[in-house]
Structure 1
Amino acid sequence: MSDELYVVTVTYSPGPHLDRFLASLAHATDRPVTVIMADNGSDDGTPEEAVERYPNARLLRTGANVGYGSAINKAVAEYGLSSTTDMFVVANPDVQWGPGSIDLLLEAADRWPRAGALGPLIRDPDGSIYPSARHLPSIIRGGMHAVVGPIWPSNPWTAVYRQEREDPSERAVGWLSGSCLLMRSAAYAEIAGFDERYFMYMEDVDLGDRLGRAGWQNVYVPSAEVLHAKGHSTGRDPARNLAAHHASTYTFLADRYPKRRHAPLRWAFRTALGARSRLVVRSSMKARRGQG
């Protein structure tokens, strides 16, 4: 296999983020890179401009807004990445690459031969570290994070779930943020990539969980750093996206408790998440009206 590295990103009218993504990529690795933009229906012209400006950029139209995971799967299938490459990168177009960030992930992949996914340290625009490497959400830990997190951000369950009080160190974790991942092709193929039932949110939690169940590891590599602007597409309709987040959370939890004897638990998940969704959506809409 060649040294060429494929980077897959999903575009949906990404605006100026995409140019920063592509320009900073030159500093992330010494390997030749091809960028596949799986476009979910952009109407701002930026993916087309990128193809003209960057010779290594390729545009793949998905035909509709199919969601993040589905768009990644389409790009991987179209270019045969899971069978013709050892590794490939998945990243949001609002990521800016730190110097050598991809090469550092590739070096870590050699140290962790069972790593199915590796993720860098992610910084928010203000320079703070985003808790991108987390435990899988258990009923108690994840449930308490979901219920009390919005009103008590410093609660102990959220701190443990997000691992935000731990010093950054290279280690295996439950799951990694899907905003920037180095994927091992064999692992991706074994679990058939992203679960396309998730339109947005929780697809990365599900991916990390299924990798772990298949015997692969999710490895956090804080020596590699990226900056994530966040919200270039999700910020367009906060109420809709909050509702989608809760629906995806239910899908994830219901999948983990599928048996008949778990029916009361699934009912409790649905009821609690439905109530929380209505509450946060109303709060979001009220806040938007207040800003108008």
Structure 2
Amino acid sequence: MNYGDGLGVVTVTYSPGETLAPFVDTLAKATTRETRVILADNGSTDGVPEQVAAEREHVSFVPTGGNLGYGGGANRGVAALGPEVGWILISNPDIEFGPGSIDTLIEAAGRWPRGGMFGPLIREPNGEVYPSARLLPSVGRGIGHALFAVVWPSNPWTKAYRQEQTPVERTAEWLSGSCFLMRREAFDSVGGFDERYFMYFEDVDLGDRVGKAGWQNVYVPEAEVTHIGGHSTARSSDRMLREHHRSAYRYLADRHTGVLWAPFRFAVKAGLTLRVKLLTRG
């Protein structure tokens, strides 16, 4: 399908509370374009998404029909956009946008004609830069990162995986799903998010498939946003920790299929299960 040059913003809501209104309102300083905002709601009970949509003409409340997870909700939100929208910004609802940040991402697309996905620099609430443009997990890096990230944060496997370096515009193997821009053509070419990932690794999987489809993932640090919720507490609960490890196994198992890889899949599953038990004791 031929799309127009319009901009659509999709955020997945699940009782987002007081962060949602600033998210929507800071869009005005992030772009000079007219913007259609979709609140893909996964079953909020706080009434906030309905209220925010009712008070703003350019915002639409779109119930997804249940808690579909991040990727499933985002897919429903994108599907609600018309053909005039050729640029999609998908974001958590606890992001606040820096001045001109979305326009900067779109401008970068002119420098990267095969760029399909563009990620901004993401700051934590304390001002620290979150490493949002990374290498894909490999077997070696994955094992090293899993074993030593907590007890030895500066280990070489974690440093290589997180790609912490001076922020410069460059390609990456995947970009954080908390905030990114996509050409709608690129999103369609890979079928959007894989909805089997309820939470976590859906962005890693998407970045991998975007690259395999011939597009580039581009990190654009001149565009800046702040993640108010912060990544540091995103996995604090035992349930989220289990979900993270479940998604990690799915990602690795999907890429190591067949009988010959069966011992590897068994070992990975056993190791991740043990790690969850150790991290959730007490």
Contact 1:123–1:225 (Cα < 8 Å) also in 2: yes
Contact 2:6–2:87 (Cα < 8 Å) also in 1: no
Distance in 2 (CA, whole Å) between partners of 1:222 and 1:174 is 16
Per-residue deviation, 1:77? 1.8
- 1:51 aligns with 53
Q: How does 1:250-289 map to 2 (within 5 A)?
A: 250-282=249-281, 286=282
Contact 1:15–1:46 (Cα < 8 Å) also in 2: yes
Query: Is 1:221 equivalent to 2:215 in the alignment?
Result: no
Q: Secondary structure at the match of 1:219?
A: strand
- 1:131 aligns with 131
- 1:290 aligns with none
Query: Where does structure 1 lack aligned partners over 5 or more consecutive residues?
Result: 287-292
Per-residue deviation, 1:237? 7.3
Per-residue deviation, 1:84? 4.4
Deviations 1:128-163 (CA, angstroms, capped at 9, x unpaired): 000000000111112211111011111111111101
Contact 1:3–1:32 (Cα < 8 Å) also in 2: no
Distance in 2 (CA, whole Å) between partners of 1:35 and 1:214 is 27
Query: Is 1:14 equivalent to 2:16 in the alignment?
Result: yes
User: In structure 1, which of residues 41, 62, 65 is the aligned counterpart of residue 64 of structure 2?
Assistant: 62
Contact 1:3–1:31 (Cα < 8 Å) also in 2: no
Q: Secondary structure at the match of 1:245?
A: helix
- 2:112 aligns with 112
Distance 1:13 1:188, change over 3 A: same
Q: Which amino acid aligns with 2:133?
A: A
Per-residue deviation, 1:262? 0.7
Deviations 1:64-91 (CA, angstroms, capped at 9, x unpaired): 11100001111122335xx543211100
Q: Secondary structure at the match of 1:209?
A: helix
Contact 1:5–1:34 (Cα < 8 Å) also in 2: yes
How many positions carry a matched residue from both structures? 279
Q: Secondary structure at the match of 2:226?
A: strand
Per-residue deviation, 1:4? 3.2
Q: Which amino acid aligns with 2:126?
A: D
Distance 1:158 1:110, change over 3 A: same
- 1:27 aligns with 29
Distance in 2 (CA, whole Å) between partners of 1:237 and 1:223 is 30
Q: Which amino acid aligns with 1:239?
A: D
Q: Secondary structure at the match of 2:153?
A: coil
Q: CA RMSD in A?
A: 1.6
- 1:76 aligns with 78
Tell me whether 46-55 or 244-253 shows the greater mean CA deviation: 46-55
Contact 1:38–1:75 (Cα < 8 Å) also in 2: yes
Q: Secondary structure at the match of 1:145?
A: helix
| TM-score (ref. length: structure 1) | 0.92
- 1:205 aligns with 204
Q: Name the % identity.
A: 55
Per-residue deviation, 1:230? 2.7
Q: Which amino acid aligns with 1:257?
A: H
| TM-score (ref. length: structure 2) | 0.95
Per-residue deviation, 1:231? 5.8
Distance 1:268 1:16, change over 3 A: same
Per-residue deviation, 1:281? 2.2
Q: Secondary structure at the match of 1:263?
A: helix
- Identify, as 1 or 2, the structure richer in helix: 1
- 2:99 aligns with 99
Distance in 2 (CA, whole Å) between partners of 1:236 and 1:135 is 20
Q: Secondary structure at the match of 2:29?
A: coil
Distance 1:276 1:227, change over 3 A: same
Deviations 1:163-201 (CA, angstroms, capped at 9, x unpaired): 11x110000001000000101111111110000000000
Distance in 2 (CA, whole Å) between partners of 1:139 and 1:277 is 19
Q: Which amino acid aligns with 2:62?
A: L
Q: Which amino acid aligns with 1:264?
A: P
Q: How does 1:172-251 map to 2 (within 5 A)?
A: 172-230=171-229, 238-251=237-250
